[in-house]
Amino acid sequence: MFHFFVPGSKVQKDRAIMRETDARVAKYSRRGLILNFLVFVLCLTFGEFEKKEHNTAIVLVTGLLLVTLVRSYYLFRFDALYARAPARWRNQYFFASCLGAAWWSVILVTLTWVQGMRDETLVMWLYSVVFYSSVSNVFAPYRHFLTLYLAIGQIPAAITAMLLGDAEGILYGCIMLVFYIMLSHQGKVTSLAYWERLEAHYSLRERAQGLENEKRTSQAQIELKNEFLVNLGQEIRSSISDVMSTLSLIDDSQLSEHHRELLTTANKAAGRQIDLVNNVVDFSKITTKTLVLEEVEFDLRRVLEKFVQDFTLDAHQQGIELYYMFDPNMPLRVKGDVARLNQILATLLNHTLKASRIEHVFIEARFHQEQDDFGELQVIISDSEKNVAGENDPEAQESDHNGIGLAICKGLAACMGGSIHLRENKNRGNRIFINVALQVVSHDERRFGSEQKLRGKRALLVDLPDSNANALADELNAWGMSTQIVAGQEQAVIRLAEQAGAGIPFDLVLIFTKLNNMNGLALSREIVSHPEIAAVKQIIAMSILQSDSPEMKFHLRSYPQVCVIEKPIMRKRLFDVAVQKLLNFDLDDERKTPEKETSTAVAIPRVLLVEDHRVDQMVISAMLKKLGCYVQIAQDGLEAVEIVEQERFDLVLMDYDMKEADSLRATQKIRQQERDTHSMRHLPIVAVTAAQTESDQEQYRAAGMDDYIAKPIRYDDLEARLQRWLDKD
């Protein structure tokens, strides 16, 4: 069977594309079909041909009507016919269209031969020119059919006009032939452009679909890898937990010093393995964007000060001095993920300590409040002097240090709405810029010395580093003291003697000791050797390693007016020591008395431990008892609910990993009891779990649990949870 169109490319074989093309052909063909019939009928009605050739006109109209009805069948029933057999509809409609073109050619030939090129013949020729121009655009995708269609409709009429023999007929005939050639060429160009455009679109769509499939495959692989890593991490954590639990049960009081060191080393090694597993799991969660951050309220300045203190000993052991300066306008309390913030700061400071090329590291913290409730904390860790250049230092280059720790820190900072940049400058050293977004809870600043205990006292600051000398002096001034700063042992003794001779002696001398020498001890000895200034109170800032030296211990025993404060100097500790030395007031004794009084008045914290694993029971209960808690153990959730109904507890540690969601049901029952009894007291319930996925956290929070602690439980983590939920002051 003859076919007017044979698909040759993927696009031409695509059913959706071909249907859209054929639907367009059918849509515009309907208009031309009806218009052709109306134009011919009007020409016969108002022209002379019908009067001269009445019978011929009737035959022509009847034939045109029949052809129109046949073509209408295919056009107006397009949806039904095309759905059954698209290629058959196309072939049959093209055949009917050729019949229509042939009959239209018969009409033009008859009018031209009978009347010549005048009256309605000219109207029909003019209309044919317009009609075939529009048809060439509609049928252009099928250029072979279009060429045949145009030839059937135009060439016989052109030949008939030329056979008339007159100049007018020959002219019209030649114009029609030229017009046929132009329309055929235009149809060919339009057809090529049409299919090329669809080919390009089809290729892009296939490429996009391929990329989408690749994305889905990659996402599935990533999710599978993430699930594998999380499950593997939980298994490894459980195994290491058993090791750490066993080690923690060993009574080190019966061990020799050597064996005690081996036990400590084993505990640290196990802890490092846990940290490694946690880092791998964190990295996997960051890459898949499944990491869930905690939102807890905390004292920002206290967290930063503790962070500096925790690294002081490590830094001093490496011969590195830690300096710090915190923004005085820093908000008092903020909300965010304090554990992740500490993780970022600890990792990057540890990296700086290992890579530092000089003997000091400076830590600067600023807070930029952008809105009423939100702001950005910026911590700069540098092994150069502070404020030498900003984050956009043109001479600095972005460091390309790699490592899972740094990658995790950058991912965590991004999750917390911030960023991390490592800048290297050959002349100015390395600088790390840490930015995280935090919600501001309170701006009320709690300043030490607000009661003005130290008003009117005079202090001399000796050999303080330029990085924080002015900040420390401003802090002492806020306590009501007046301060002066000098450098060098000789200048300090001269200034002390001058002021004493003038009748306005200093009440306090703060001496800063460098790590690589005992200049503070030498200055202190010289001061106590001068009778006129020997009685001045002295505070020597030095490392723990220096203060533990035999000569320093002997000096402190010999001269009670001298005391030591650990570097870096923390304002709270400095205030306490200054008050103690200048006012002869023992703060430790003051604190001990109320503690003894309250210890008899306040009950020991009562903790209910819901745990079905024997080893975990022993380990966790031992830690709780060491932290001063009364511990009662429940084997399952049902027993826990019964105990809570009968006794009062301050905290519940609930094993989340018990079988058949026992912990969730127990928590729901405890919360329901609180609602039924209209209790004004909310019992904190902390989940103990090795699972830290987002879905798990949503489940235990939805059940009514307040917090979670990860297995294996570390002493510091447990202590932090007790402080969070039991220490509310």
Predicted confidence at residue 475, as pLDDT, reads 83
Q: Please state the separation of Cα 380 from the chain's center in Å.
A: 22
Question: Looking at the structure, do residues 59 and 145 belong to the same domain, yes or no?
Answer: yes
What SS3 state is found at 687? strand
Residues 143 and 187 in one domain: yes
Rounded-to-integer distance, Cα 160 and Cα 112, Å: 7
pLDDT of residue 238: 72
Strands 508-512 and 562-566: unpaired
Phi, psi for 434 (deg, rounded to 5): -115, 120
Tally of CA atoms within 13 A in the half-sphere of 132 that contains its CB: 29
Q: Tell me, yes or no, whether 3 lies in a domain.
A: no
Q: In terms of domains, do 585 and 501 share one? A: yes
Report the DSSP beta bridge partners of residue 539.
Answer: 510, 563
Encoded amino acid at 325, one letter: M
Distances (CA, A) of 150 to 131, 180, 188, 495: 11, 7, 13, 113
Are 459 and 507 spatial neighbours (Cβ–Cβ below 8 Å)? Answer: yes
pLDDT for 594? 41
199-205, long-range: CB < 8 A, 24+ apart: 199/9, 199/11, 202/10, 202/11, 202/14, 202/17
Do 100 and 24 fall into the same domain?
yes
Residue 436 sits in the same domain as residue 467:
no
From CA 160, how far away is CA 626, in angstroms rounded? Answer: 116
Low-confidence ranges of the chain (pLDDT < 50): 386-389, 586-602, 728-729
Amino acid 695: pLDDT? 63
List the one residue out of 506, 502, 494 whose CA is nearest residue 457: 506
Q: Which two tokens mark 310?
A: 């925790």
Distances (CA, A) of 599 to 261, 592, 593, 729: 34, 10, 10, 16
- Would you state the torsion angle of the CA atoms of residues 592, 597, 603, 604, taken in this order, to the nearest 10 degrees? 20
Element (H, E) at 421: strand 419-425
Q: What is the CA radius of gyration of the chain?
A: 46
Same structural domain, 344 and 476 = no
Residue 289 lies in a domain: no
d(CA 725, CA 698): 20
Residue 584 phi/psi, 5-degree rounding, is 50, 45
Strand order across the beta sheet in which 707-710 lies: 630-634, 606-610, 651-655, 685-689, 707-710
Whether residue 25 is found in the same domain as residue 120:
yes
Tens of pLDDT along 239-294? 777 777 667 667 666 777 777 777 777 877 777 777 777 777 777 777 777 777 88
What is the Cα–Cα distance from 136 to 131, expressed in whole angstroms?
Answer: 9
CATH classification at residue 488: 3.40.50.2300
Supply 412's token pair.
Answer: 């965590």
The amino acid at 570: M
> Do 420 and 563 fall into the same domain?
no
Helix count and strand count (H, E) for the chain: 26, 18
Sequential DSSP letters for 534-556: TTSEEEEEE-HHHHTSHHHHHHH
Q: How many C-beta atoms surround the C-beta of residue 503 within 10 A?
A: 6
Whether residue 259 is contained in a domain is answered as no
CATH of the domain at 308: 3.30.565.10
Q: Which domain holds residue 364?
A: 296-389+396-442
Q: Which of 595, 616, 644 is the last residue of a domain?
A: 595
Per DSSP bridges, beta strands 458-462 and 482-486 are parallel
Domain count of the fold of the chain = 4
The helix-helix angle for 120-138 and 167-248 (nearest 10°) equals 20
27 is a domain residue? yes
Residue 260 lies in a domain: no
Rounded (10°) CA dihedral 586, 591, 597, 598: 180
* 217 found inside a domain: no
Question: pLDDT tens digit string along 384-412?
Answer: 654 444 555 555 555 555 677 788 888 88
In a domain, 250, yes or no: no
Query: Do 681 and 633 lie in a common domain?
Result: yes
Domain identity same for 304 and 385 = yes
Q: Residue 664 contacts by C-beta under 8 Å, 6 or more apart in sequence?
A: 699, 700, 703
pLDDT at 585: 54
On whether both 305 and 385 belong to a single domain, the answer is yes
The reply to whether 631 falls in a domain is yes
Residue 712: asked if its preceding bond is cis (omega within 30°), the reply is: yes
- Residue where a domain stops, chosen among 212, 243, 271: 212
Same domain, yes or no, for 300 and 411?
yes
The domain boundary residue, chosen from 212, 244, 263: 212
